[in-house]
Amino acid sequence: MKIRKDSRGQAEFSWIFALIVGALILFFAFYFIGSKLLEGNLTKSLMTEHSLDILFNPFSYFGSLGATSAKTMDLSTVEKINFSCKTEEVFGYDSITVWTKEATQPRKVYDKYLFSDRFIESKNFQIISKSFNMPWRVADLVYFFPRNIKYCFIGPNFDDTRKEFGSDESDEHDTGMNISNFYFPESINLCPPDGEVVNICGENGASNSKCDIIVYSGNDNYVLKKNDSGVLKKLYYSDDAQMYAAIFSDPEVYYCNMQRLTKRLQYQIEIYNAKMQSLNQGQNCGMYIPLDGLDISAKTLFDNIEGSKQNIWNPIKGAFSDIKSKADVVKYQNDMSACKLF
């Protein structure tokens, strides 16, 4: 018996087999390319997060605690970074989102107080840390801004800023940090003519239309600047640490972190109150330091900032002034006491 070969069936089988093999080759090719791209993207993301570890990691610090410190951070590529602040939970938190093509994963930072514009796009950053005292060290404030932006501090109002963050080659005992994108000209006309420049003026230059930020000091301590919507805001402050925070951060981020700091201060007051009672009982110190008044001022400041979100701004000025005066009294009483609370 002779079996006839079905050439048509063989052709159909060969065509189907070739189609399956081709599909498998394409699948594995795309899978391999996708895996490599994902691996590269993950590596890039991990490198970015490693660079930002100083902000993310609760155990990371630079410099010495309580001392003014500065460092630079350079990423491999330009990144878009979004900062926001929330007062939720016990102490609130700052949220940082690195916008990449692959993901927009936010990271919450609970133990740091980060002051920055809400949106930054750069690959080179300057980070400065400065202690905030009320009257003891409450926390270190971290200022985060791009190095490609030039900050021009104009006039004698910023002599202390120049000594702390600039440099003086004529002074052999110069201790300035020489921040590369800080400038200290005598006149606004001597600020850098090119690039992105932020002109920061004292109140004596408030009438100059070239001033982007105006710092008022004296009876009224506040920084006048615009928010993201272009609306002028008054950012009240009580010391240099807060003044720089106001200069380098978005108004909403600034006031939110001020609320977080008042919460932290209130819990520290509870601890110091317990310590004062222990010292009075165990060592008969006879110590009385008016911490309760400072506690009330901290709560008042928190509430007044909360009210400002409904555009009720007037009470904030007095609240900042009051908490500073109460802190000065606490410091004086502690310095005069035989037993030291802090």
pLDDT digits (tens, 9 = 90+) for 73-111: 888 888 888 999 999 888 999 998 887 666 566 788 999
Residue 31 belongs to a domain: no
* Tens of pLDDT, residues 181-193: 999 998 999 999 8
The total number of structural domains that make up the chain: 3
What CA–CA distances, in Å, run from 97 to 45, 55, 118? 11, 12, 10
Helices (H), the chain: 7-51, 53-56, 159-165, 240-248, 251-282, 291-308, 314-336
From 185, 214, 249, the end of a domain falls on: 249
Residue 261 belongs to a domain: yes
Q: Distance between CA 109 and CA 177 in Å, rounded? A: 27
Under-70 pLDDT residues of the chain: 1-56, 58-65, 100-105, 168-175, 309-314
Specify whether 108 is located in the same domain as 50. Answer: yes
At 27 the pLDDT is 53
At 39 the pLDDT is 43
Specify whether 156 is located in the same domain as 239. Answer: yes
At 317 the pLDDT is 86
Domain limits at 205? 149-249
From 199, 221, 249, the end of a domain falls on: 249
From 88, 110, 145, the end of a domain falls on: 145
Residue 315 belongs to a domain: yes
Specify whether 139 is located in the same domain as 45. Answer: yes
Residue 73 has φ and ψ, to the nearest 5°, of -135, 130
Contact 339, 283 (CB under 8 A): yes
Specify whether 51 is located in the same domain as 141. Answer: yes
Q: Which residues of 160-187 are buried (b: 16+ CB within 10 A; e: fewer)?
A: ebbbbbbbeeeeeeeebbebebbbbeee
Residue 321 belongs to a domain: yes
Residue 223 belongs to a domain: yes
By CB atoms closer than 10 A (0-12, 13-18, 19+), residue 58 is: exposed
What CA–CA distances, in Å, run from 296 to 269, 291, 320, 322, 330? 10, 9, 12, 10, 13
In 10 A of CB 206, how many CB atoms? Answer: 12
**Could you check whether the bond before residue 146 is cis, i.e. omega within 30 degrees of 0?**
no
pTM of the model: 0.82
Residue 314 belongs to a domain: yes
Specify whether 127 is located in the same domain as 167. Answer: no
Specify whether 241 is located in the same domain as 264. Answer: no
Specify whether 240 is located in the same domain as 262. Answer: no
Specify whether 289 is located in the same domain as 209. Answer: no
Instruction: To the nearest 10°, report the CA torsion of 291, 292, 294, 295.
Output: 120
Specify whether 277 is located in the same domain as 226. Answer: no
At 32 the pLDDT is 47
Specify whether 260 is located in the same domain as 272. Answer: yes
Residue 116 belongs to a domain: yes
Contact 122, 146 (CB under 8 A): yes
Specify whether 130 is located in the same domain as 201. Answer: no
Residue 26 belongs to a domain: no
Specify whether 118 is located in the same domain as 189. Answer: no
